[in-house]
Chains A and B, each alone.
Chain A
Amino acid sequence: MYYVAVSLRWLKDNLFSNAVNTLTTLSLTAFLLWSLPPLIDWMIINASFVGSSNNDCNNEGACWVFIREFFPRLMFGSYPESERWRIYSTGIIAILFIFTARQYHRTAFSVILFGLFSIIAVTLLYGGFLGLSRVDTHQWGGLFLTIVIATVGIVGAFPLGILLALGRQSHLPVIRAFCHVFIELWRGVPLITVLFMASVMLPLFLPDNIDINKLLRALLCIMLFASAYLAEVIRGGLQSLPSGQQEAASALGLTYWQQMRYIILPQALQRVIPGIVNTFIGLFKDTTLVLIIGLFDFLGIVQSAATNPEWLGRANEGYAFAALIFWIFCFSMSRYSLHLERKQDQ
């Protein structure tokens, strides 16, 4: 009896406290009642989970057999099955390094760890020496490739964005102008155009014997592209600080870089965490554009699988799965940003 009363009370306070709230509650409920059951029917009740071909699926519901059959390709592209332990190891080493770095709280130490990790990662994933066979980057694909592009993009764009933002406030006109032009140039062109130019037009201008790896070019483009956006976000943070902060820091005799490192950037970055994470989420989703230059990232594999003649008509399942995976990653980033914001508030 008591619990009923408490529940009713909660309902009244939270859902029916006034006319507008009541109306919102009722319309949302109606919408969910109308849309949810068919979706659940399609996704679970009528869906097919077992089998090995399109014939094992009924047409009433989703054919998850399709995703299961393509799962290894969706995750790793054409990375040879016998070599996939190298991807797993890189992942485990990454997690170990992140935990170690967090333990010590020293930026210099983290940077060294990260440098070490980059070398290990390239050795493991690409190989070609130390007895590891070479896995060429055109074999890389799927979610693995998406994560590689996003990670390198984020890790590269972050320091570059900081430097560009500081450069735009420089007292030296040449540096200021350079950063301004650089930012406006990259912001003004769609990423897809940049990628296309880098992959199709660049080779026309370069001598025949010079061949810059396709993945490397895509990485560079995405990194520079994101850094331009990031620079503007960070500049907003820099401008929001009272000028007294830098004056007090200079009056104490700190050099320009010390002022930035210990006083200005910690505060400026803290203020724009939501904007920074927003840019990174955008970057993560933009990685899907590499399909245009013939790299098969996660979404690229979904698309190519959906056009497989043996699995005609399974695009819905593919895109639903892709949406779910992308959402999980982007939502995690957003939660992490919230966690960072709260941490500093204490």
Chain B
Amino acid sequence: MKPDSNNVVQFTQVNKWYDKLHVLKDINLSINKGEKWVICGPSGSGKSTLIRCINGLEPFQKGKLTVNGLALDSLSEINTIRQQVGMVFQQFNLFPHLSTLQNCTLAPMKVRGLNEAQATEIAMHYLSRVNIAEKAHQYPNQLSGGQQQRVALARALAMEPEIMLFDEPTSALDPEMIKEVLDAMIELADSGITMVCVTHEMGFARQVADHIVFMDQGEIIETAQPSDFFENPRSKRTQQFLDQILTH
């Protein structure tokens, strides 16, 4: 069988345990270039674990996972993969001892080997794209949560990745800042990048996602297009989850 060149992330029977706790159960997932995937599910269902497998932040014990055709098992391949996969975290994880600009130029310089001028140009480009260029010389603790998260997005984009991972990027934000981050993500989605996003923002999912994955207790319960997912969920657990999340 010829590998599908459109396929960028492929989970095949992936299993993971924390000691005895089985946190990923026979995960199969095939993500194509340019697709937007949203992963949702109750707390502790394994969403973060799943998404963190894609860039090798979490090792798994069984099964196969490839990103751009590279298998996530050897250390050197993980480093190649990480250059093609950007990630935005719930807690921003900006580097507090570096300025906004330095946060965005460090990896392009050290990992991609750009010189300072090139890295600065790219960083400023992405900082303006998320509307935060004027804060380039401030430090993370001088920014609001929403601003920090947009810097974190620019930092990941400055590596010019093919795939972007988001792990609940708006959950740590005050309500009035959620929109600015979601807007930046929606704008990014239009650029044709591949996105995998763990989020409970169902409005965002409806607007942006091509596919929605519902997880519970380490299993993928259901994969569907947004319209099907919201209007006629196939499983009862999905129905219960949607009731809970959409009614409050």
Which A residues form the contact surface with B (CB < 8 A)?
242, 244-245, 247-255, 258, 262-263, 266-267, 270, 344
Contact partner of B82 (CB less than 8 A), chosen from A242, A245, A251, A267, is: A251
The answer to whether A247 and B159 touch across the interface, beta carbons within 8 angstroms, is: no
- Contact yes or no, A248 B95, CB < 8 A: yes
Contact A253 B83 (CB under 8 A): yes
User: Is the pair B91, A251 in contact by a Cβ cutoff of 8 Å?
Assistant: no
Let me know if B79 is at the binding interface, CB within 8 A.
yes
Scoring A249, A251, A254 by chain B CB atoms within 10 A of each residue's CB, the highest score goes to: A251
B1-9, B38-46, B105-113, B210-218: which lies at the interface: B105-113
A-B contact pairs, 21 of them (CB 8 A): A244-B93, A245-B93, A247-B57, A248-B94, A248-B152, A250-B82, A251-B82, A251-B86, A251-B87, A252-B82, A252-B106, A252-B111, A253-B107, A253-B111, A254-B110, A255-B79, A262-B106, A262-B110, A267-B96, A270-B97, A344-B97
Which residues of the partner chain B approach A262 to less than 8 Å between Cβ atoms?
106, 110
User: Is B111 in contact with A254, judged by CB distance below 8 angstroms?
Assistant: yes
Taking a contact as CB atoms under 8 Å apart, the answer to whether B89 and A244 are in contact is: yes
CB distance from B181 to the nearest CB of A (A): 17
With A244-B93, A251-B82, A253-B111 already in contact, 8 other A-B pairs whose C-beta atoms are closer than 8 Å = A244-B89, A245-B95, A249-B95, A251-B86, A252-B86, A252-B106, A253-B82, A262-B110
Nearest neighbor of B83 in chain A, beta-carbon distance: A253
Inter-chain contacts of A244 with B (CB < 8 A): 89, 91, 93
Say yes or no: A253 contacts B57, CB within 8 Å: no
* Cα of A249 to Cα of B110 in the assembled complex, Å: 11
Q: Which residues of A sit under 8 angstroms from B93, Cβ to Cβ?
A: 242, 244-245, 247-248
Query: Interface size bucket, B side?
Result: 20 to 34
In the complex, B24 has a CB within 8 A of chain A: no
| Distance between B183 CB and nearest chain A CB, rounded to angstroms | 23
Least CB distance from A246 to B in Å reads 9
CB A32 to nearest CB in B, in angstroms, measures 44
Chain B residue with minimal CB distance to A255?
Answer: B79
Q: Cβ of B155 < 8 Å from any Cβ of A? A: yes
Taking the closest CB of chain A, its distance from the CB of B247, in whole angstroms, is: 32
Q: How far is the CA of A262 from the CA of B82 in the complex (A)?
A: 18
Q: Are B107 and A252 neighbours in the complex by a CB distance under 8 Å?
A: yes
Of B55, B94, B96, the residue contacting A251 (CB under 8 A) is B55
Do A263 and B95 have beta carbons less than 8 Å apart?
yes
List chain B residues, Cβ under 8 A from A249.
Answer: 95
Could you tell me the distance in whole angstroms from the C-beta of A10 to the nearest C-beta in chain B? Answer: 35
Report which of A242, A251, A255, A258 forms a contact with B57, defined as CB distance below 8 A. A251
Query: Which interface residue of A242, A247, A253, A262 has the most chain B CB atoms within 10 A?
Result: A253
Residues of B within 8 A of A252 (CB): 82, 86, 106-107, 111, 155-156, 159
Q: How far is the CB of B85 from chain A (nearest CB, A)?
A: 8
- Within 92-128 of B, Cβ neighbours of A (below 8 Å) are at 93-97, 106-107, 110-111
In B66-96, which residues have CB < 8 Å from any A CB? 79, 82-83, 85-87, 89, 91, 93-96
CB of A253 within 8 A of CB of B159, answer yes
Task: State the Cβ distance, B119 to closest chain A Cβ, in Å.
Answer: 12
CA distance A242 to B94 in the complex (A): 11
Shortest Cβ distance from residue A259 to the other chain B in the assembled complex, whole angstroms: 10
Q: A252-B111, A252-B156, A253-B83 are in contact. Are A242 and B97 (CB under 8 A)?
A: no
A111 to B93 alpha-carbon distance, docked (Å): 31
Q: What residues of chain A lie closer than 8 Å to B111, measured between beta carbons?
A: 252-254, 258
Q: If the complex has contacts A253-B159, A266-B97, A267-B97, are A247 and B110 also in contact, measured as CB distance less than 8 A? A: no
* Closest Cβ–Cβ distance, residue B195 to chain A (whole Å): 15
Contact A254 B107 (CB under 8 A): yes
Q: How far is the CB of B15 from chain A (nearest CB, A)?
A: 21
List CB contacts (< 8 Å) of B179-224 with chain A: none
CB distance from A272 to the nearest CB of B (A): 14
Interface centre among A249, A252, A254, A255, by most chain B C-beta atoms within 10 angstroms, is A252
Kindly identify which residue among B79, B89, B95, B152 contacts A253, using a CB–CB cutoff of 8 Å. Answer: B79
For B86, B110, B155, the residue with the greatest tally of chain A CB atoms inside 10 Å of its CB is B110
A258 CA / B152 CA spacing, docked (Å): 19
Chain A residues, CB < 8 A from B57 = 247, 250-251
- A258 and B110: CB pair below 8 A? yes
Q: Cα distance A121–B156 when bound, in Å?
A: 47
Residues of A within 8 Å of B83, CB to CB, are 253
In the complex, A128→B46 CA distance in Å?
A: 69
Residue of A nearest to B57 (CB): A247
